[in-house]
Amino acid sequence: MNDTQKPEENTLSDGDIATPSLEPSPESNDAGAKSENELAGSIISQQQQASVNKVRELLANVNAALIGQHAVVKNVVLALLSNGHVLLEGVPGLGKTLLVRALSKTFSGDFKRIQFTPDLMPSDVTGHVVFDMQNKSFQMNYGPVFTNLLLADEINRAPAKSQAALLEVMQEKQVTTEGESRKVPLPFMVLATQNPLEQEGTYPLPEAELDRFLIKVIIDFPTVVDEVRLTKLITQGQVGDNNSIESIKASLTSNELLDIQQQVANVSIDDQVIDYAVRIVRASREHPSIFRGAGSRASIGLVRIAKANAYLEGRNFVLPDDVKTMAISVLQHRIALTPDVEIEGLSAHDVLSQMLMDIEAPRK
């Protein structure tokens, strides 16, 4: 697609749908220009518009509960649309758990929570088989992973053995016990919160588990204005801190969410844009400041969440900007920096930002 044919990037208000213009461009005779028929096929249908509006309503509901974290909330919702898992990192008290609880109230699925502690056992996560003396048979005691939305709270406060209990279910949407595999209900999403590794009592997540998270979202302190607004909201006439999510009503059913996830998967993407996403991931393996680059799962995840970003903006096709926008969130937990770069105080975000500037995006 030519630059002249990209839809204008407007700030969308609730209920507005961005659709690409069908006006012919001055370069419509170029070989790379799309015809009106091709552009018309890229406009979302009325059914999709209604679905996008529901997702935006969901987004607004969560933002009302978690003040001052609009970018964080948007990334989490995009991961939900992409059928992916999210790793939330931040110091205690920034609303990580509140975000997950608010999200759980926006669709009518099941929600369960696991508080990860040093003495947590894998069977406390997945469940276990026990012998029922009354029926004289083995019965499955289902663990909390058999749900739609799972909050793994402070996941890095449990040792690797307990963390690894999520490996199979995050990738294959099933749990194997006593040689039998049992499917978890769909949709299924894990939102794990973790404290920075510099804090006392934390264990680093294994690389295999980090790779199963579609994105990593870092929650930072709110601005002064947002913190004043938050404090005023919570302390005026309220005894507890949880009233901000009590008024949230479900915007979607589980079946509607599954349908939207399929609509996102059907968003079209040009081969050149896929090539751009793959080049970004491969560049992380060759960058001099990166000791360990991202694997192929990152390329797949980057394309999927780029489709979700396009869908949320009301488009049925992916732009290179969709890929670039989501690249850091998809890659920052999948790479390891070289020791000299860490000594200089640079973060994965800093290195990836510079890397993205050096990779040329497709222009047609």
Half-sphere exposure of 283 (CA within 13 A, CB side): 19
Do 87 and 215 touch, CB atoms closer than 8 A?
yes
DSSP three-state, residue 344: coil
pLDDT-derived band at 40, boundaries 50, 70, 90: very low
In 3D, which of 318, 320, 303 has the Cα closest to residue 361?
A: 320
Alpha-carbon separation of residue 328 from 43, 169, 208, 298 (angstroms): 28, 25, 19, 11
For the ranges 66-75, 103-112, 228-237, 328-337, which has the lowest average pLDDT? 228-237
DSSP letter string, 17-63: ------SPPTTTTSTTPPPHHHHHTTSPPHHHHHHHHHHHHHHHHHH
Return the number of other C-beta atoms located less than 10 Å from residue 211's C-beta: 20
Is it the case that residue 247 has pLDDT exceeding 60? Answer: yes
- State the helix-helix crossing angle for 70-81 and 46-65, rounded to 10 degrees: 140
Is it the case that residue 300 has pLDDT exceeding 60? Answer: yes
For the ranges 131-135, 139-143, 281-285, 307-311, which has the lowest average pLDDT? 131-135
pLDDT at 43: 65
Residue type at position 39: L
Contacts of 200 (CB under 8 A, 6+ apart): none
Do 148 and 83 touch, CB atoms closer than 8 A?
no
What phi, psi does 285 have (nearest 5°)?
-85, -15
What's the length of the chain?
Answer: 364
3.40.50.300, 3.20.20.140, 3.40.50.720, 3.40.190.10: which CATH number matches 52-266?
3.40.50.300
Instruction: List, for residues 181-218, the tens digit of each pLDDT value.
Output: 889 999 999 999 887 765 666 777 888 889 999 999 98
Say if domain 267-364 classifies as CATH 1.10.3720.10: no
Q: How far apart are CA 167 and CA 164, in angstroms?
A: 5
Alpha-carbon separation of residue 4 from 23, 27, 38, 149, 249 (angstroms): 11, 8, 15, 42, 41
Do 312 and 81 touch, CB atoms closer than 8 A?
yes
Sketch the domain layout of the chain as residue ranges.
Answer: 52-266, 267-364
What is the helix (H) or strand (E) element at residue 85, kind and residue range? none
Mean pLDDT on 322-345: 93
Q: How far apart are CA 10 and CA 329, in angstroms?
A: 23
Do 261 and 81 touch, CB atoms closer than 8 A?
yes
DSSP letter string, 221-261: PPPHHHHHHHHHHHHSS-SSS-GGGTT----B-HHHHHHHH
pLDDT at 7: 44
Do 88 and 191 touch, CB atoms closer than 8 A?
yes
DSSP three-state, residue 298: helix
pLDDT-derived band at 8, boundaries 50, 70, 90: very low
pLDDT at 33: 40
Return the number of other C-beta atoms located less than 10 Å from residue 334's C-beta: 21
DSSP three-state, residue 76: helix
**In the chain, how long is the greatest CA-to-CA distance?**
80
Instruction: List, for residues 126-166, the tens digit of each pLDDT value.
Output: 888 787 777 777 788 888 999 999 999 888 888 888 888 88
Name the token pair of 298.
Answer: 């990152």
DSSP letter string, 303-317: HHHHHHHHHHTT-SB
Do 75 and 49 touch, CB atoms closer than 8 A?
no
Q: How high does pLDDT run on average in the chain? A: 82
pLDDT at 67: 80
For the ranges 61-70, 112-121, 332-341, which has the lowest average pLDDT? 61-70
pLDDT at 280: 97
